[in-house]
């Protein structure tokens, strides 16, 4: 007599569940996923710092020497010989205040642009939010910025620049600089995976951008009718904010608002573009 109870084995699906890992289009950029992997961000940032100064005789001293020596050169060439205006402030401090955010931005973007192609094993073998790789360059850059800022506090009294309560504004200004640096790092790293021309074009683009940013000159150096063009560069408002905080001058709140809006738009666009290109990383890299 055939067995009437039990299960029909022909209808049982013995296949194990399969999870397909892929990049979502928007999904709020998977911010919760990024937050849950925040420890990995710290690990990657720490690794970047160690690799940068590995087998270096001077180590983290380079974080001080790079902006300091550039300040000396700028002071001699543009301050002494070129008589570049500095809004009535000591040109050495004036240029150093511009070099702090600029050096941070250029270092993060340059390092971050190569972050994905330098980590093919992480991209192809382990799952985690890929956005953390170029973003970790910001964490390493913040360490250099903090060390270089200590030099500023040392040389300010030498040039007779007093400490003002406005120095507190450097904190949100650094956060704003980190956001635009992250935007540049994220976007260039994604494009660099497919088009390796980025590594050749980026140094020239950054060098050109420096002259379009008030690092060695004040915004007032340009004629009034052309200043609005300069303010389309969000680094202009940020650098002017750095100088206002250091010298205790009034802030250009309109310029800072424009810079903040542009930075927010650039960061969102960069992250969205990264997500769209992310699905091709494993195949191309």
* Residue 102: inside a domain: yes
Q: Among the ranges 25-34, 114-123, 228-237, which has the highest mean pLDDT value? A: 228-237
* Residue 20: inside a domain: no
237, 259 contact by CB (below 8 A) = yes
Q: How confident is the model at residue 1, as a pLDDT?
A: 46
How many domains are there within the chain? 1
Query: What pLDDT band is residue 24 in, cutting at 50, 70 and 90?
Result: very low
* Residue 108: inside a domain: yes
* Burial (Cβ within 10 Å: 0-12, 13-18, ≥19) of residue 50: exposed
User: Any alpha helices (H) in 22-131, and if so which ranges?
Assistant: 31-36, 38-52, 62-74, 91-113, 120-125
Q: What are phi and psi of 23, to 5 degrees?
A: -85, 125
Domain that holds residue 55: 29-214+221-272
**Beta strands, E only, 117-234:** none
Nearest to 23 by CA among 33, 9, 38, 8: 33
* Residue 284: inside a domain: no
**Beta strands, E only, the chain:** none
* Residue 138: inside a domain: yes
* Residue 10: inside a domain: no
* C-alpha pair distances (Å), 231 with each of 102, 148, 171, 250, 266: 15, 26, 21, 17, 15
pTM listed for this prediction: 0.83
Give the gyration radius of the chain's Cα atoms: 24
pLDDT digits (tens, 9 = 90+) for 177-195: 999 999 999 999 999 988 8
* Residue 280: inside a domain: no
pLDDT digits (tens, 9 = 90+) for 189-234: 999 988 888 888 999 999 999 999 999 998 888 888 888 888 889 9
273 membership: H or E segment, kind and range: helix 253-278
* Residue 165: inside a domain: yes
160, 90 contact by CB (below 8 A) = yes
Q: How confident is the model at residue 56, as a pLDDT?
A: 65
Q: What is the largest CA-CA distance in the chain?
A: 108
Give the tokens for residue 265: 């738009």
Cα 134 from chain centre? 9
Separation of alpha carbons 263 and 181, rounded Å: 9
Residue 98 scores a pLDDT above 90: yes
* Burial (Cβ within 10 Å: 0-12, 13-18, ≥19) of residue 19: exposed
Residue listed under structure tokens 């074009």: 201
In this structure, of 51-60, 84-93, 146-155, the range with the lowest mean pLDDT score is 51-60
């Amino acid at each position: 007599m055939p067995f009437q109870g039990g299960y029909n084995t022909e209808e049982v699906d013995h296949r194990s569940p399969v999870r397909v890992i892929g990049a979502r289009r928007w999904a709020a950029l998977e911010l919760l996923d990024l937050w849950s992997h925040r420890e990995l961000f710290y690990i990657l940032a720490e690794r970047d710092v160690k690799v940068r100064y590995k087998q270096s005789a001077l180590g983290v001293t380079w974080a001080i020497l790079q902006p300091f020596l550039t300040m000396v050169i700028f002071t001699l060439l543009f301050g002494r010989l070129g008589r570049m205006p500095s809004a009535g402030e000591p040109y050495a401090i004036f240029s150093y205040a511009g070099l702090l955010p600029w050096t941070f931005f250029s270092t993060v973007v340059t390092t971050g642009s190569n972050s994905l192609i330098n980590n093919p094993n992480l991209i192809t073998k382990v799952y985690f939010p890929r956005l953390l790789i170029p973003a970790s360059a910001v964490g390493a850059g913040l360490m250099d910025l903090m060390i270089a800022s200590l030099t500023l506090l040392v040389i300010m009294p030498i040039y007779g620049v007093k400490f003002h309560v406005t120095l507190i504004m450097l904190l949100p200004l650094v956060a704003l600089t980190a956001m635009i640096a992250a935007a540049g790092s994220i976007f260039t790293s994604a494009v660099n995976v497919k088009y390796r021309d980025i590594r050749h074009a980026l140094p020239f683009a950054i060098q050109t951008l420096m002259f379009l940013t008030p690092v060695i000159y004040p915004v007032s150096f340009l004629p009034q009718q052309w200043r609005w063009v300069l303010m389309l560069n969000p680094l202009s408002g940020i650098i002017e904010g750095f100088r206002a905080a250091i010298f205790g001058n009034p802030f250009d709140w309109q310029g800072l608002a424009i810079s903040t809006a542009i930075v927010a738009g650039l960061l969102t666009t960069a992250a969205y573009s990264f997500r769209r290109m992310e699905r091709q990383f494993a195949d191309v890299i």
